[in-house]
Amino acid sequence: MSTPESTSARAATPRGPWLILMNLLPDAWRTRVPEGMVENRPLLSLVSHVVLAIGIAIVALPLYVTFVASTQTAEQVLNAPMSLLPGTHLIDNYTAVLTHGAGEASAPVGRMMLNSLVTALIIAFGKIVISLLSAFAIVYFRFPFRGLAFWMIFVTLMLPVEVRILPTYKVVSDLHMINTYAGLTVPLIASATATFLFRQFFLTIPDELAEAARIDGAGPMRFFFDVVVPLSRPNIAALFVILFIYGWNQYLWPLLITTDEEMYTTVIGIKRMISGGDAATDWNLVMATAMLAMLPPALVVLLMQKWFVKGLVDSEK
């Protein structure tokens, strides 16, 4: 993939002498032809902003309605069409779901969020750690069956859990890992993508560093912890964002592995809340739960936006 580096590449694009001169003009003049724009077409600019605004409105509509519904009473939501102004039950609803859940067979959403958090963290860190280790072995050692090992990791790309649901479930159940955090996470921890990403990165680490370490008498693990891991920090951060979201948003696997409501993740909890049909569903509480389910991954994306974009692009290389 060569699409990346976008924003920085653009900033570095050399501009014509005319544009360099433009930079000397007072700010008020410069705004007429914004930098980087090929020509000034006010109408097209207006259309651009309008189209983008419509796009954002469509993207935001479900999120906004969800938020509004989560602040109303169950009756207000059922009374179609519901008001599109926030109600007054924000605190009531959120306290209710966090401590009691919604519906009869529901664990408190606080408990579910804890499950989701533990799952997402184990998956993200687990994938990063075992991928760092195996990429290090593949890049810095030559050993028999190295090619086979690499190939085996590669093939996992072609075996998503969706295509081997039943037999994988059987393995996990034979290992007595149903309704455990281990069962929720370990089968998802192998990662071809992360291994390739780290392999690509390790190949760019100058050989002089490894040579120097060897001359100084540092063993491979010392080199790994003192040089390789610190240098990989940006890649680790980028992967962490992507993998945290991946782990938090898991659906099919927890659906199979958790039968005990105490082990439900938030996403599964919501599915169970709405399975009773319209009349039995407290939509305001379901929507409050949905907001809570979206909040942690959204925060991770917003707070680590730079890493998020890097991670997305890197992991598709």
Footprint on residues 93-152 left by other proteins (CB under 8 A): 130-131, 133-134, 136-143, 146, 149, 152
- Region binding other proteins by CB under 8 A among candidate stretches 50-58, 85-93, 106-114, 225-233: 50-58
Q: Pick from 20, 21, 25, 60 the residue near other proteins by CB under 8 A.
A: 60
- 239 is an interface residue for other proteins by CB under 8 A: no
**Is 276 one of the binding residues for other proteins (CB under 8 A)?**
no
What per-residue string of b and e applies to 285-298 under the rule 16 or more CB within 10 Å gives b?
A: bbbbbbbbbbebbe
Specify the residue, 35 or 262, whose C-beta has the smaller distance to other proteins.
35
CA dihedral 251, 74, 94, 262 (to 10 degrees): -40
b/e burial code for range 214-232 (CB count within 10 A of at least 16 → b): eeeebeeeebbeebbeeeb
Q: Measured from the CB of residue 283, what is the shortest distance to other proteins in angstroms?
A: 6
Closest separation between CB of residue 199 and other proteins, Å?
Answer: 9
Which of 311, 305, 303 minimizes the C-alpha distance to 239?
311
Tell me how far apart the alpha carbons of residues 212 and 48 are, in angstroms, rounded to a whole number: 55
Rounded to whole angstroms, the Cα distance separating 268 from 184 reads 12
Q: Which two tokens stand for residue 173?
A: 């159940």
Q: What is the largest CA-CA distance in the chain?
A: 76
* Residue of 30, 32, 164, 306 that binds other proteins (CB under 8 A): 164
Q: Is 260 in the site for other proteins (CB under 8 A)?
A: no
Q: How many residues make up the chain in this entry?
A: 317
Write out the binding residues for other proteins, residues 68-87 only, by CB under 8 A.
69, 77-78, 80-82, 84
- Can you tell me the distance from the alpha carbon of 17 to that of 90, in angstroms, rounded to the nearest whole number? 57
Q: How far is the CB of 17 from other proteins (least distance, A)?
A: 13
217 binds other proteins (CB under 8 A): no
The least CB distance from residue 123 to other proteins, in Å, is 12
288: Cα separation from own chain's centroid: 21
Given 21, 25, 36, 276, the residue binding other proteins (CB under 8 A)? 36
Q: Does 52 bind other proteins (CB under 8 A)?
A: yes
With respect to other proteins, which residue has the nearer C-beta, 94 or 308?
A: 308
- Rounded-to-integer distance, Cα 21 and Cα 44, Å: 25
Q: Are 71 and 77 in contact (CB under 8 A)?
A: no
Q: Is 162 among the residues that bind other proteins (CB under 8 A)?
A: yes
Contact with other proteins (CB under 8 A) among 90, 227, 294, 304 = 294
Binding mask 4-23 for other proteins (x = CB under 8 A): xxxx-xx--x-xx-------
How many residues bind other proteins, per CB under 8 A?
126
117 by Cβ neighbours in 10 Å (0-12 / 13-18 / 19+) ranks as middle
- Retrieve residue 241's tokens: 């964002």
Give the nearest distance from C-beta 288 to other proteins in angstroms.
Answer: 12
CB under 8 A: which stretch of 22-30, 97-105, 160-168, 230-238 binds other proteins? 160-168
Residue 90 or 137: the one with the smaller Cβ distance to other proteins is 137
Distance of closest approach, residue 108 Cβ to other proteins, in angstroms: 18
